[in-house]
Chain A
Amino acid sequence: MQQFFVFVRKECYHIFRDKRTLLILFGMPLVLIILFGFAITNEIHHAQIAVLDQSRDSYSQRLVRKMTASRYFEVNRYLSSYKEIGPAFRQGDVKLVVVIPGRFAHSFEHEKVAAVQLLTDASDPNTATTLINYANAMIIQYQQELTGEIKLPLTIRSEIQMVYNPSLKGVFLFVPGVMTLILMLVSAMMTSITITREKELGTMEILLVSPLKPVMIIAGKVVPYIVLSFIISLIILAMGTWVFAMPVKGSLLLLLLECILFGLTALSLGILISSMTNSQQTAMMISLMGLMLPTVLLSGFVFPLESMPKPLQVVANVLPAKWFNIILKDVMLKGAGLRQVWMPTAILCGMTVFFLAVSIRKFKIRLS
């Protein structure tokens, strides 16, 4: 046991004396959370619109006022002819053009049908769709205001309720995502690097010649990172709840245990990587390309999994990140208990055991 503590202490010296490691460990989570929380968001505020109002009557003006009253749209300019639409888009600020044809009020009152044309800059399709949806919603609302409760012969009214995230905050998606990413980075990449570093420096040989058991060497290297990854999950959770008001509806204990479990899964992956290569460079490349990239792209945290082609969805199943993401969202937002998340939990456990078993097979007690 004393040997083990000596080893862990040495490992802590390595971690706390290396500024790069410290930066990755503590700087990265903060930067990512802040970036994703504040800067990178798929919500749209103050989109610049241009208005081509050919009616200039009270109805059309009320419509424009209605749209700009929300914080979603801001009138960037008024256009006076169709010819100006192209240049307005090309200048880049204007994302949406609202064209109100002449005699808007007249058509509405007498013909019972009035048209509004929406043009959007679809070079960014997601933004375009979102803007159209916003604008449509407002136009429908406006129409209802004007017509009042006119009884139509038949109507289907859809009552929409956004459950679990009523204000559609993007942060709720990003906090679990960033947590997954960071735990993967810290646990998998850092362990694979720290183990391969000993191999590269030749100190691994000295350790293997010593009476230390190989399992003890690996455990000694990994334990500090388990503790660190746990502390980091706490930091991210704390920032999520206090800065971004992300709820933890489920049991906090379950959430923390799941964090530890995912930490272990990532660590076993890190050990596996380090058993495949002897160089820090390679270990880092494998972790970045083989783990980080799929984690970002395929865990369902940036791009929705459901809209991916089938083969990619299958690949995503192999990623621990996908399952951890599900667990996090279920527990934090939906208040799920172990009974609801037993399956992803079991999958993560299975993966951990599998990775460890493979690495133990690969980790040669006698370096040959």
Chain B
Amino acid sequence: MNNYSIVTKDLTKRFGSFTATDAITFEVGQGEIFGFLGANGAGKTTAMRMLCGLLKPSSGEAKVAGYDIYTQTEQIKKRIGYMSQKFSLYEDLTVKENIRFYGGIYGLSNQQIKEKTHALLDRLQLEKEARQLVSSLPLGWKQKLSFSIALLHDPSIVFLDEPTGGVDPITRRQFWDLIYESADKGVTIFVTTHYMDEAEYCNRISIMVDGKIKALDTPAGLKKQFNAESMNDVFLQLARAKS
């Protein structure tokens, strides 16, 4: 069990009489890219928020990075990175100030922040823009920056909540190169997405319908299982079965 970074068992969240996530059970291995798919309102975000410690589950168990999500949220918070669907940098701060701020709140030392800033700007080729306000950057760059900042404190897991919304396919591809790079270094990637082409990039994917996980396998495995040409077909079959 030790090489799993996320383990959940019957994880459930109810809001009043509405069950947002219904007894979901899955494991994510260390360094795996785990795609979390589902239509709007299927319960993806709720599940992710529980794993990040933003929401208390109603019942069930889960461990993130080996820590219990009920009692050890403080330890979990130090080991996870998070990038939300809303753009999560401060527009009125410069690139450098954003990096400094997020490094600072994760408790990195000045020396570490300096080194990491340098490395990050170098990797994203943003040295020239380091002193510009983030608001002046194009969306795709902002998102890459946002992702890199989520990785600043070397988390063992990053949660990406629809990270590539509104971005053109080329930038999306570049964004995924960054994701692969991190996964190669052993960082677990937990990503929700709408885009079926992105689903193909994941090692394994789960598809949620009405709060339940209806399918969980590698993209190839799923296509075989549902006898479908593409992930899109798989998704449509599941979504239609519902209605």
Q: Are B49 and A6 in contact, CB atoms less than 8 angstroms apart?
A: no
| A contact set with B: CB distance below 8 Å | 2-3, 5-7, 9-10, 13-14, 17-18, 201-203, 205-212, 366-368
CB atoms of A10 and B101 under 8 A apart: yes
* CB-CB under 8 A for A18 and B92, given A2-B104, A13-B97, A367-B49: yes
| Contact status A6-B104, CB under 8 Å | yes
Give how many B residues have a beta carbon under 8 Å from the other chain's beta carbons: 31
Tell me whether A368 and B104 are in contact (CB under 8 A): no
Closest A residue to B90 using CB positions? A203
Contact B77 A205 (CB under 8 A): no
Q: Number of A-B pairs whose CB atoms are under 8 Å?
A: 78
A5 to B110, CA, bound (A): 13
Most A Cβ at <10 Å: residue of B85, B90, B102, B105? B105
**CB-defined A-B contacts under 8 Å, sample of 22:** A2-B107, A3-B104, A3-B105, A3-B107, A5-B104, A6-B105, A10-B101, A13-B90, A13-B92, A14-B92, A202-B84, A206-B83, A206-B84, A209-B80, A210-B106, A211-B78, A211-B105, A212-B105, A366-B54, A366-B56, A367-B49, A368-B55
B165 to chain A, nearest CB (A): 12
Interchain nearest-CB distance for B83 vs A (Å): 8
B86-119 with Cβ < 8 A to chain A: 86-90, 92-93, 97, 100-102, 104-107
Check A6 against B100 for contact (C-beta < 8 Å): yes
A17 to B100 CA separation, bound complex (whole angstroms):
17
Interface: B140 (CB within 8 A) = no
Please list the residues of chain B having a beta carbon within 8 angstroms of any beta carbon in chain A. 15, 49, 52-56, 74, 77-78, 80, 82-90, 92-93, 97, 100-102, 104-107, 159
Q: Which residues of A contact B90 (CB under 8 A)?
A: 10, 13-14, 201, 203
In the complex, which of the residues A201, A206, A208 has the most CB atoms of chain B within 10 Å of its own CB atom?
Answer: A206
On whether A205 and B104 interact (CB within 8 A), knowing A211-B74, A366-B53, A367-B49, the answer reads no
Once bound together, how far apart are the Cα atoms of A7 and B104, in whole Å?
A: 8
Question: In chain A, what residue has the closest Cβ to B49?
Answer: A367
Which chain B residue shows the least CB distance to A3?
Answer: B105
Asked whether A210 lies within 8 Å of B77 as measured between CB atoms, the reply is yes
Query: Known contacts being A209-B52, A366-B56, A367-B55, is A202 close to B104, with CB within 8 Å?
Result: no
Q: Is the CB of B93 within 8 A of A211?
A: no
Q: What is the bound-complex CA distance between A9 and B93, given in angstroms?
A: 11
Q: Which residue of B lies closest to A207 (CB)?
A: B105
Bound CA–CA A368/B45 (angstroms): 12
Please report the C-alpha to C-alpha distance between residue A2 and residue B110 in the assembled complex, in whole angstroms.
10
Look across to chain A and name the residue whose beta carbon is closest to the beta carbon of B109. Answer: A2
List, in ascending order, chain B residues with CB within 8 A of A7's CB. 101, 104-105
Query: What is the CB-to-nearest-CB distance from B237 to chain A, in angstroms, rounded to a whole number?
Result: 33
Cα of A93 to Cα of B97 in the assembled complex, Å: 61
Cross-chain contact A205 with B55 (CB below 8 angstroms): no
Instruction: Beyond the given A209-B52, A210-B106, please list 4 additional residue pairs across the A-B interface where CB-CB is below 8 A.
Output: A6-B104, A206-B84, A209-B77, A209-B80
CA distance A367 to B86 in the complex (A): 15
With both chains docked as a complex, state the minimum distance between the C-beta of A122 and any C-beta of chain B, in angstroms: 54
Would A202 and B87 be within 8 Å (CB), given that A14-B92, A209-B54, A367-B49 are in contact? yes
Tell me the bound Cα distance from A120 to B106 in angstroms. Answer: 72
Closest to A10 in B: B101
A84, chain B: closest CB distance, angstroms: 65
- Provide the residues of chain A in CB contact with B55, threshold 8 Å: 366-368
- Among B52, B74, B104, max chain A CB count under 10 A is at B104
Partner of A10 from the list B83, B93, B106 (CB cut-off 8 Å) is B93
Residues of B with C-beta under 8 A to A18: 92
List the 4 shortest-distance A-B pairs measured between CB atoms, nearest first.
A202-B86, A6-B104, A209-B82, A211-B77
| Chain B neighbourhood of A366, CB < 8 A | 53-56
Chain A nearest CB, measured from B96 CB (Å): 11
Q: Which of chain B's residues have a CB closer than 8 A to the CB of A17?
A: 92
